[in-house]
Chain A
């Protein structure tokens, strides 16, 4: 019985480790990723009786990961946990635009930083974590309609912000921005 449980868990762990690690790594500082990923799978192991059968287990794990990330970032305990690692105690930020890079990517990140947390999450979960809108709605605990509205609002905000930022920077620096920043309306996945 226990052996079967361990076997089934190991299969789920092997199958979803990369996706869950990527999800966590996009949301918490690099040196804290391992801790949070471990917590996600510890929760899964302890509650494995409640985990849906494949392929629904993937969404269940994303839901746990979302709560673990939120808890990690939110918890008043975070303060001490942040300090307990001896090395690699780092977070990662992007350097402001420099030459020889696609500036629009940096502008996108700047625009996303300005979104409301849930709007930003809507873009990340679809475009980075590659969940469908229906799946994302489940993980974010809202209706598909509500998610669609949030997603479109976030996407349009980023598009407009990037266009404005591009115009401003191009006006000041007369760089190559001006020729590369025309966007068309994206299509929902």
Chain B
């Protein structure tokens, strides 16, 4: 049998075109509605008259942001108070070294990640791995990425059973080593030094998705603030402002003292995710864990429960009945001189 290699590559396309969404599906229509609801960016025009209009628009946007923030009346929520505390801590932290030309920000993290193996014999199964990730990033976005996967385990007996029915294929995952070219336009890293340190301005940029694109909603607000706080080398004033922005996001729960999977103590703050199964009333949380003494983000995790989190009279939410479904911990973050150099844990803003 003779075949053309191109035909064989076409047949290797992993996507089932017939399973792709069309505009007629509910999810596609909902996404379109969400996109159409996002603000439209207007071009910068420098004519004086238009600048005046622009100023009015900026003030209006700020007022809108202030309107969506909770009323200042009454006491702040326990979560807001925790964020304000972290803001104070962050503002007093010394500025951390940032990469100079030829240097890289090195970050080492570990997480639990799940992989679905798809067998053409129709016995899919999931395997959990400990994933260690090392990332070297220069200020222009160039760098190197190394990911290793170890300690495979089956989440359920059914996964193991399907693995056996698939012929017990090897679960070894090759180490991923990737050299990254410098970023341009959309792939360029966010310039943390150009972001405002005024919380109101910063809140308006987060909520208008002008720093990072994304869907509307408080979950995305919380996620984007977390994204920006993940960078330990962000200026202290910016980190302090980000915590203040977070203090105004509604629906955040104070989980209270939390121990991460490396045994480090932190403050847990979480927000509800879309219920994974509304019919069953199940609920999920996305939690960020901060070091209360340095404000560093120690880790993050997702949790699933069969009912919403219970909040005590003290305002701290209890997570009894919840299970951790995934987690990531940040072990090391430091400036190094090459894409092969690593830093010890004590060089990090993450250690305790």
**Chain A: residues with CB nearer than 8 A to chain B?**
5-6, 9-10, 13-14, 17-18, 21-22, 25-26, 30, 34-35, 37-39, 41-43, 45-49, 64, 67-68, 70-71, 74-77, 79-87, 89-96, 98, 100-102, 104-106, 108-109, 112, 117, 123, 127-128, 155, 158-159, 162, 179-180, 182-187, 189
> Which residues of B lie under 8 Å from residue A49 when comparing CB positions?
43
B214 on the A face (CB < 8 A): yes
CB distance from A93 to the nearest CB of B (A): 6
Of the stretches B52-60, B184-192, B199-207, B257-265, the one at the interface is B184-192
In the bound complex, do residue A101 and residue B302 qualify as a contact, i.e. CB atoms below 8 Å apart?
Answer: no
Nearest CB in chain B: distance from A94 CB, A: 6
Most chain B CB within 10 A, of A18, A74, A84, is at A84
Question: What 3 A-B pairs have minimum CB-CB distances, sorted nearest first?
Answer: A86-B284, A67-B186, A186-B6
Interface size class of B (residues with CB under 8 A): 35 or more
B20 at interface by CB-CB < 8 Å: yes
Q: B12–A109 contact, CB under 8 A?
A: yes
Interface string of B107-121 (1 = CB under 8 A from A): 101010111111111
Q: Is B341 an interface residue (CB 8 A)?
A: no
**CA distance in complex: A105, B8 (Å):** 6
Contacts of A101 in B (CB 8 A): 120-121
Which residue in A45, A84, A100, A106 is a CB contact (below 8 Å) of B223? A84
Indicate if B41 sits at the interface (CB-CB under 8 A).
yes
What chain B residues lie within 8 Å of A128 (beta carbons)? 9-10, 13, 15
B169 contacts across to A, CB distance below 8 A:
95-96, 98
Q: Does B28 sit within 8 A of A, measured CB to CB? A: yes
B227 touches A83 (CB 8 A): no
Tell me, yes or no, whether B326 is within 8 Å of chain A by CB.
Answer: yes
- Enumerate chain A residues within 8 angstroms of B187, measured Cβ to Cβ: 67, 70-71, 74
Enumerate chain A residues within 8 angstroms of B11, measured Cβ to Cβ.
102, 105, 108
* B69 CB within 8 Å of chain A: no
Residues of A within 8 A of B326 (CB): 83, 89
**Chain A residues whose C-beta falls within 8 Å of the C-beta of B21 in the assembled complex:** 17-18, 21
Q: B15 near A22 (CB under 8 angstroms)?
A: yes
Other-chain contact of B2, A47, A112, A117, A182 (Cβ < 8 Å): A182
Point out residues on B near A: beta carbons under 8 Å: 1-15, 17, 20-23, 27-28, 31-32, 34-36, 38-41, 43, 105, 107, 109, 111, 113-121, 126, 133, 135, 137, 141, 166-167, 169-170, 173, 178, 180, 183, 185-187, 189, 209, 212-215, 223, 226-227, 230-231, 273, 276, 284, 286, 300-304, 325-328
Residues from chain A with Cβ under 8 Å of B5 in the complex: 108, 155, 158-159, 162, 183-186
Residues of A within 8 A of B223 (CB): 80-81, 84
A2 nearest in chain B by CB position? B40
Q: A84-B302, A92-B14 are in contact. Are A41 and B31 (CB under 8 A)?
A: yes
Decide if B35 touches A45 in the complex (CB within 8 Å). Answer: yes
Nearest CB on B from A176, distance (A)? 10
Return chain A residues, CB-CB under 8 Å to B28.
17
Residues of chain A with a CB closer than 8 A to B284's CB: 86-87
Chain A residues with CB under 8 Å of B180's CB are 74
Min Cβ gap B294→A in Å is 18
B-side contacts of A82, CB under 8 Å: 111, 113, 328
In Å, the complex CA distance between A64 and B187 comes to 10
Q: Is the CB of B117 within 8 A of A22?
A: no
Residues of A within 8 A of B166 (CB): 95, 98
With a cutoff of 8 Å between Cβ atoms, the chain B residues found around residue A42 in the complex are: 35, 38, 209, 213-215
Q: Are B133 and A104 touching (Cβ within 8 A)? A: no
Complex contact A95–B118 (CB within 8 A): yes
Task: Give complex CA distance A42, B34 in Å.
Answer: 9
Q: Which of A83, A90, A96, A112 has the most CB of B within 10 A?
A: A83
Does the CB pair B213–A183 fall under 8 Å?
no
A42-B38, A46-B41 known; A184 vs B118 contact (CB < 8 Å): no
A81 CB to nearest chain B CB (Å): 7
Which chain A residues lie closer than 8 Å to B212 at the CB level? 77
Contact A9 B36 (CB under 8 A): yes
